[in-house]
Structures are given as structure tokens and as C-alpha cells.
Structure 1
């Protein structure tokens, strides 16, 4: 297919370059795609990994982490081939995950994939708000602990920080689409490397200072502090946290749609997935294992904001600042597909409505021409406000992260890629290849159900002692 760019103009007569399909010219590369993946993967999930390893122990924890990594990479390689159909190199583009499923499976599969994708993306954005607010609070509390001592309460309300992060996202959400966020992804990728490296470094220092913490080969099941059922719920929630840590399949197709066509997009995306997932796993393993070694069975739910680390306070503050900057970008990577879905639907529904289609252009120094529609501004503002309110109502970090991970992992990361691959390759039923792929899918389904049950149980327990909109750290 000829992918040469053509010249066009937007509604404000501003010259733009277009790809052959009429979309703005794609400029993404292996570097920007990898940055998008790392920004999405190494999100708030990395902060809960030491806690998750602590629940599962030295044996099951690393095995589960590597297993989630391998399954995600395998499914991502399969999914990358469906960006174009029917041919993965020269076929018609599918711009979103829903388009991919509709083109290859159609019918109810398309509807189910859409519900799963957008529910999960909304959940991710809520999770990023909770995590960012926790890090903002941690900066304030860290300074308080340094000034008044580690035994001081220094309790702080979370809501003002949740609202602050929401205001920032209202502004950033006015950026038109994911194609214009490449620079933000590079910056946030740098930030995630920084805060992950600090967490690993602080954990190593903690191990050197206090080497005799209690750890276990079998995690919470070696602890007599809680009932067997509570331990089981914690282990299930930990699996959900690990699944959440690899949740980028929701936006894989949208990331692939940013790539220029000078090389086949599926090949570049497979390379980006390999580099991004392997890099993420390296950091995950280092942070998870070192965090568990540092704190043992008392590992906090959030390694940077749970105050296992107090000193040097300025380094803890810096790490949490990096988390906030990182998740500022991650919110946008996950939010933009939701924005685009609603806006595209509105344009089809009301093609002549000025509220939806009329573009207003503004020149911003050092940025260039910035355009918006009234509907885009209103809808995206409402979306950010709603996700902010949900974060204020359910600010339970580990349980919420575990629930979203459980909901997202099986259908989007495993089921649909395997189902589409079997259909396209016409793999015979009950052949060896068909059997092991179906067995993998069923195993992941059981894991997701268990993680969801454990997380819901944790949220119910937390709600029993929680006052609505009165969250305090």
C-alpha cells in the first residue's frame, strides 16, 4: 500500500501533512513506541510489586512475575499482526483495539472487547490519580517526618492532592490526540526509570543497614497474623497487582497507529514490545525482590509512599515527584483512546453540529497553533472530573490496582489475541497448538477471577472503616 503523505488543510485552513488514509501524518518510531509502552507499563504497578512479592513469597512471587511478562510479550507479538487486515503488512489499517476485533471476529466479540477496553482504561486513569495523590501526600509527610521525627503522625488529607492532579489533567487533556504526546512519553519514560532506580537503590541501602528482616518462601501463608482466608485474599490481590503491572494491551493498537510506515508497523511494534517489556521486567524484578528483601513481611503497599523509607528525605521526595510527573503522562496515554472513541462517535452521529466539529485555533508561543472544539473541551473536562471523584471515593491503592489488573488481563491481553490468531491461522481444533493456546487462556482466566475476588474482598473490608471523601494518609 502506498503510504506517501499528502498535503491537506484543517478546518482553520492550517496546512498539514496527511497519510494516504487521510489521517495526520504518522511520525512515530521504535524509540517513541518503546517510550509509550514503558510509560504505560511501568506505571503505578511498580510501586506495589514489593508488596505483591511479599504476599506470594520468594518462590511464587518471581515465578508469577516472569510468567506475566512472558504471557504479555507473547500476546503482544500476536496482537501486533492485527493492526492491518487481512494482510499484516499491506492490509487495511485498524486504528483501535475495537477495530481489530471487529475486523477479525466481529459481532458480539467487538462489543465485548470495547466494553472491556474502555472500562479498563477508565480504571487505569483512576488508579493513576490515586497513586499520584499518594506520592504528593508522601512528599508533604516526608518533610514533616524529617522535621518532627519518624514517630510523628503527620497525617494528611488526600483529597486536595487528588484535586490538584485532576486540574493538571484537565489542562493536558485538551491536547488533540495521542500522536501529539510523543515528547511527553519520552519525558515520563525518563521519570519512571528515575523513580524505579531510586526505589531499588533505597532498598539496597535498607538491606545493607538492616539485613535481618523476616521473609518467607511461601509469603503470607507462612504468617500466623491473619486467618487462612485473609491470607488467600491477599495472595489473590497480589496476582491482580502483578497483572496490572503489565496492562498495556489496551493501548497497543493505538500506540502502533502512531508509527510511520517506512517500515512495516507490525515488525517495529514487535521490537518495541520486546524492548519495552524486557526493560520493564528487569526493573520490576529488581524493585520487587529488593523491596521485599528490605522490609520482609512488613513491606508497605506502596514502596515509595508507604514510608518504609524515611531518609534521605530529599531523595524520597524526589522519587515521589518523579512518580507524579510519570503518571501525569501515563494518564494521558490511557485517557486519549477514551476521548477519541466518544468524539469520533459524536462526529458520526452529528456531522454538521458546530459544537462537535467547529475547530477554534489559537497561536501559542513556542508551541504553534493549538486547536480545540467546544465539545472536546467540555467532554474531556467532565471525564477528568468524574475520574477524580471516583478516586476520592475509592482511594484503596493495592485493592483497586489489583481489581483493574484482574479485569484487564485475561480478555484484552490473552483471550482476544489468541482467539484472533487461531481464527486467522485456521488452527485445527484439538491440535496440539490449539490445545496449549486454549489451556493458556483458561489458566489466565482462572487467575484473573481469583485476583478479582481477592481485590473485591479487600475493597469491601476497607469500605467498612472508610468515610466517604474523608481519605487520610
Structure 2
């Protein structure tokens, strides 16, 4: 999504390029094929690019926590909860896709961001709440992805160490340097000006997500078929005497709540759905293409989620690790485990950008509008390179995006708790962004009569999902408090 001044600059450059004909005479500017009906540069996104964005956004680090989440609930409740989250996510994403244009979902005025859609349908009062929740969630996702990428890099380091020095060797590893490396890569990639230019990262990330999910699935199946193996139970982790390896009833309840947050995080992508939809061509209508892409993406990810989560639980039973791939540290072939963790890192490098670009665009557009004559904010610099077109950069974009990446990296170092951070982010975003705003906007846009059957059931859905989010937030917070009692920041 380009800031207004960038779009105007593009139009001027196109105008200069077409202002004269081949004979040197003046010619009228007529290049309508390069612009949409609202005067902005024509979008080129398709079902496949949108599907890649969705899969990149949905199949993230959350898939690695699903075996642990199923272990908290058992063989019956675990898979059922996964399917329920998939259904709710697809249903509400379909409602949200119809809110891209207002008032008519096909011919109405475009809403370029999630907040634009909320403002058009619900008015300015709820925009502030939406903005706080949406961008706080994007910030939290940046932190969560940094933690996950570092944990996978640490797993690779420790796996190599164990296989060279033995399982009793001193194979401690700090996640701080790996978080720093991940942050450095994001500083460079964050200079990509806009969301629409991320398609190659999304395609690469989608491929990586399929690859490491397949590796996790294969390793889980291989370990699950070993003889004399604990394959889990119907009710999950057992309650009993802690000295005998069981958990207390309170810990069981908190674990289930935290698992709900982890599953909610695994399915969260609604906060960037409108931004993805804004990359699509206007024909066929964007809402139809987006619904197809959402359905394809969610079905694809649910198949992987169910397979990986169940295979992981069958492999480790009630002792399933919080991060599935880190649980295969002593498993052969260890190079395959390392490959899976490497794919996680590559995937999260791209996914980090998919989630942060909307936040970058919002902040930059806001300041560009407030200070339209600031050279620091608006001036573009060009750097000639021998192998292609000149690279362009902006000092404001360089400084502020670098500061953002540094901030998220430092926060990740302070709170490197994989499951609890994933659960808290999922809980914080699930109800407001995935359910509440899509439901309320749909009711307003379609003018659903108050107290009608549809109005009633939509509100029932919203209330149930609010209760789930609240329980997940409490469970993840309790887990994080317990972790903080034992953790020393910036140490191994």
C-alpha cells in the first residue's frame, strides 16, 4: 500500500513519460490502463497470490505448538477444537471480505486497510479501538516470530552439538545472538517499500511452511510407530499427584486455556485480510476472489494442522513439547530435523514482513499526511547499482523501520516464552479482529434486523468467542508469570 505522496509521484512520472509523442509534439495524457477506477495504480494480485499471502500468514509458528495444545485436551477435544477454530475463521473472514468495499461489497468505495473498513461501516468511534488492537497484535506477532525463529536456530545448534559430543556434552546455547541475526535480516527486508512487493517472500515462505510441516509430520509418524510408545490419551494430560508426574487440576485448566490461545494464534490472519484483498485485481470482484483464497488457505492449513498436531501428539504423548521440531533433538536423521528448523527460520523471515508491512504503511501514511512538506519524510534517494535498476530509499523509512525491528528484537530477548507468548497474542487478537469487528460490520452493511434470527446467532457466536479469548488470555498470562519467576533475561 503506497503512501499518497508515492502514488502521486508515480502518476507524475507516468504522465511525463507519455506527455510527448514520437514526433516531439504534445500528446494528451491517456494511460488509463495503468490505473484503477479510483485513480490509483492498477492492482495485479490474483487468487494465487492472495492464497500465498493467506497460507504464509496462517501456517506460521503456531503449527509447531499444536501437538502440545492437543496434549492439553486429548484425542477427542483437541481435534474438535481445531476444526471449530477453522470453521469460525473461515466464516468470519468471508464476512470481512464483503466489507472491503462500502456500502456495496462489489461496486462500493474501496477500503484500503482494516481500519478504513471499520470507519466506513461502524464510524470513527470504534476506529481507535480497532487500531490499538490490530497494531498491538501486529507488534506482538513480530515478537512471537522473532522468538520462534531464534528457538529453531538454537535447536539446530544444540542438535549438531549433541551429535558431535554426545547427549551429555555441554550443549547450552543462548537465543540472544540468534535473535540479533534475525533482527538484522529484518532491518534489511523492512526497506521493501510496500506490501504489494512482498509476493516473492510470501511464495517462498509458503513453500517453506509446507516443507517444515511435512517434515514434522513425517518425523512424528516415524516416532509414533515405534514399539512400546505412549500415544496419548482421550482426555490428555492426566490430573493427579505431581510427584508421580501428573499435573494439578489448576495446572490442567490453565494448560487448556493456554492451548486455546495457541490454536487461536495458529489461525489468526484477519488483521491483514483487507490489506491482502487490496492487492487483488478488481475483476472478478475482490470479495469473491478473497473468499476463494481464504477457503483454499484455511482448508490447506487445517489439513496440515490436523496432520502435524495429531502426529506430534502420537509421537510424544502427554509429554509433547511446546515447539514440535525442537522435541526431535536426538532423533535421526538429525539433518532432517535441522532442515525442518531451517525452513521455519526462512518462513518466519517472510512472515514477519507480511505482518509488519501494514503497520509500517499506517504509521508512514499518518505522518506523511501530517507533514506533507517534510523532506525527511518524503524525499526519495536513488542509488545506482551495476546489475539492475537504481535502488531507492527514504531516510525516514530507514530510521523508523530500523528502530521498530530493534525494539521488537529487544522485547523478544526479554520474553522468550514460546507457548505463552503465542497464546497471549492469539487470545488478544482472536475475538476483536477475527470475530467482533467482522460480525458488527456485516450486520451494519447488510442491515441485518435487530433481534432477527441471523442477528441473534451472530451475537451468540461473538459472545462465545469472547469467552474463549478471555480464558486463553488468562491461561497464557498465568503461564508467563510462572516462567518469569525462573527466567533471567539475556542469559542462556
Q: TM-score range by the shorter chain?
A: over 0.9
In structure 2, the residue corresponding to 1:219 is in which secondary structure? coil
Residue matched to 1:124:
141
Deviates more, 1:366-375 or 1:36-45: 366-375
* Preserved CA contact (<8 Å) 2:155 2:329: no
Match among 114, 117, 123 for residue 100 of structure 1: 117
In structure 2, the residue corresponding to 1:305 is in which secondary structure? helix
Match among 185, 190, 193 for residue 210 of structure 2: 193
Residue matched to 1:362:
383
Deviates more, 1:202-211 or 1:164-173: 202-211
Residue matched to 2:229:
212
* Preserved CA contact (<8 Å) 1:57 1:219: yes
Provide TM-score, normalisation by structure 1.
0.95
Match among 79, 90, 96 for residue 73 of structure 1: 90
Counterparts of 1:212 and 1:337 in 2: how far apart (Å)?
46
Cα distance, 1:151 vs structure 2: 3.9
Residue matched to 1:314:
335
In structure 1, the residue corresponding to 2:383 is in which secondary structure? strand
Q: In the alignment, does 2:488 pair up with 1:467?
A: yes
Cα distance, 1:424 vs structure 2: 1.7
Counterparts of 2:13 and 2:349 in 1: how far apart (Å)?
29
Counterparts of 2:383 and 2:291 in 1: how far apart (Å)?
38
In structure 2, the residue corresponding to 1:209 is in which secondary structure? coil
Q: In the alignment, does 2:448 pair up with 1:427?
A: yes
Counting only pairs closer than 5 Å after superposition, residues 232-247 of structure 1 correspond to structure 2 as 232-247=253-268
Alpha-carbon spacing, 1:194–1:100, altered in 2? closer, same or farther (3 Å): same
In structure 1, the residue corresponding to 2:267 is in which secondary structure? coil
Deviates more, 1:32-41 or 1:358-367: 358-367
Alpha-carbon spacing, 1:10–1:219, altered in 2? closer, same or farther (3 Å): farther
Alpha-carbon spacing, 1:203–1:457, altered in 2? closer, same or farther (3 Å): same
Cα distance, 1:214 vs structure 2: 5.0
Residue matched to 2:25:
none
* Preserved CA contact (<8 Å) 2:258 2:423: yes
In our comparison, the structure showing a higher alpha carbon Rg is 2
Match among 249, 263, 272 for residue 228 of structure 1: 249
Counterparts of 2:403 and 2:12 in 1: how far apart (Å)?
30
Which runs of 5 or more structure 1 residues have no equivalent in the other structure?
none
Q: In the alignment, does 2:11 pair up with 1:8?
A: yes
Match among 146, 167, 175 for residue 150 of structure 1: 167
* Preserved CA contact (<8 Å) 1:11 1:358: no
Provide TM-score, normalisation by structure 2.
0.91
Deviates more, 1:37-46 or 1:426-435: 426-435
In structure 2, the residue corresponding to 1:110 is in which secondary structure? helix
In structure 1, the residue corresponding to 2:480 is in which secondary structure? helix
Q: In the alignment, does 2:408 pair up with 1:405?
A: no
Alpha-carbon spacing, 1:312–1:74, altered in 2? closer, same or farther (3 Å): same
In structure 2, the residue corresponding to 1:372 is in which secondary structure? strand
In structure 1, the residue corresponding to 2:332 is in which secondary structure? coil
Counterparts of 1:234 and 1:365 in 2: how far apart (Å)?
56
Residue matched to 2:104:
87
Alpha-carbon spacing, 1:127–1:10, altered in 2? closer, same or farther (3 Å): farther
Counterparts of 2:248 and 2:490 in 1: how far apart (Å)?
30
Which runs of 5 or more structure 2 residues have no equivalent in the other structure?
1-6, 19-30
1:3-40, CA deviations, whole angstroms, 9 ceiling, x for partnerless residues? xx998345998899443434333111111100000001
In structure 2, the residue corresponding to 1:8 is in which secondary structure? helix
Residue matched to 1:385:
406
Cα distance, 1:91 vs structure 2: 1.1
1:341-369, CA deviations, whole angstroms, 9 ceiling, x for partnerless residues? 11001101100000001111234455534
Counterparts of 1:438 and 1:463 in 2: how far apart (Å)?
37
Counterparts of 1:26 and 1:372 in 2: how far apart (Å)?
22
Counterparts of 1:223 and 1:130 in 2: how far apart (Å)?
32
RMSD over aligned Cα atoms: 2.0
1:60-104, CA deviations, whole angstroms, 9 ceiling, x for partnerless residues? 101110000000000011100111111111111101000000000
Q: In the alignment, does 2:393 pair up with 1:372?
A: yes
1:282-310, CA deviations, whole angstroms, 9 ceiling, x for partnerless residues? 00000000000000011010001234652
In structure 2, the residue corresponding to 1:360 is in which secondary structure? strand
1:432-472, CA deviations, whole angstroms, 9 ceiling, x for partnerless residues? 211111111100000000000000000000000111222x3
In structure 1, the residue corresponding to 2:11 is in which secondary structure? strand
Number of residue-to-residue matches in the alignment: 467
Alpha-carbon spacing, 1:291–1:14, altered in 2? closer, same or farther (3 Å): farther
* Preserved CA contact (<8 Å) 1:146 1:310: no
Alpha-carbon spacing, 1:154–1:11, altered in 2? closer, same or farther (3 Å): farther
